[in-house]
């Protein structure tokens, strides 16, 4: 009996010892793996640049085209449109001084002391003109004159001739120079080199100076009123 108890105790002890070994050798499952990020002091993450918006397409401005050929139009920059000038008739008048002994002059004279078509004086006055396509040098066919009001008329001296007594009378009005730039086929831009002073003006076709009557495309320039 005593021997049996000793055997039982030994079995129990062996069982406990075996269980203890199993517990120590038990494999522990590893947890999830994580990447380690080392952040330096003062480091600021770089922000991704926002996509640049596409450039807004600039709408191309289409310049207006004159309706009638061989007629100058005033170009309104602000409204991008053309203003037709006044069509007036002018007579070529020859005036002699002392039966021509003191010279003579030819004047273009038209009715009314001022034009109904008027603009404000400014530097960038521009005119457009459309030709029939047979004009080589526009400046040799059309001239811009400053007319002078006189006795309910507008006049400008076109030509003068000195007489035997050499007493040349002072010319009336003056010829205004301008330059021409082609915009498209048969369409031209007339540019003035300087600001026009207040007064009366007109474009005249001078292709045939033997005529007695001419068409003048007239307009007036007024001073800008103070605000």
The answer, yes or no, to whether residue 149 has pLDDT greater than 90, is: yes
pLDDT of residue 190: 93
In sequence order, which residues have a C-beta less than 8 Å from that of residue 199 and are 6 or more positions away? Answer: 146, 147, 148, 220, 221
Beta bridge partners of 220: 118, 200
pTM over 0.85: no
Contact between 73 and 127 (Cβ < 8 Å): yes
What percent of the chain shows pLDDT beyond 90? 39
The answer, yes or no, to whether residue 22 has pLDDT greater than 80, is: no
DSSP string, 213-226: EEEEEEEEEEPPPP
């Amino acid at each position: 009996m005593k021997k049996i108890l000793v055997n039982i105790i030994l079995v129990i002890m062996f069982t406990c010892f075996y269980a203890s070994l199993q517990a120590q050798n038990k494999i522990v499952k590893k947890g999830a793996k994580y990447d380690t990020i080392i952040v330096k002091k003062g480091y600021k993450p770089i922000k991704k640049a926002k996509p640049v918006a596409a450039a807004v397409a600039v709408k191309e401005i289409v310049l207006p085209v004159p309706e009638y050929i061989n007629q100058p139009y005033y170009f309104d920059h602000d409204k991008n449109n053309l203003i037709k000038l006044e069509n007036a008739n002018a007579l070529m008048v020859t005036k002699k001084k002392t039966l021509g002994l003191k010279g003579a002059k030819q004047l273009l004279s038209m009715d009314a002391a001022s034009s109904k078509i008027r603009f404000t004086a400014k530097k960038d006055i521009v005119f457009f003109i459309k030709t029939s396509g047979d004009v080589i040098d526009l400046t040799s066919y059309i001239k811009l004159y400053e007319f002078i009001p006189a006795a309910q008329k507008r006049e400008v001296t076109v030509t003068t001739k000195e007489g035997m007594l050499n007493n040349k009378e002072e010319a009336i009005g003056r010829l205004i120079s301008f330059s021409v730039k082609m915009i498209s086929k048969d369409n031209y831009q007339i540019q003035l080199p300087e600001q026009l002073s207040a007064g009366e003006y007109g474009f005249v076709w001078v292709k045939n100076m033997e005529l007695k009557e001419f068409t003048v495309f007239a307009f007036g320039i007024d001073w800008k009123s103070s605000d």
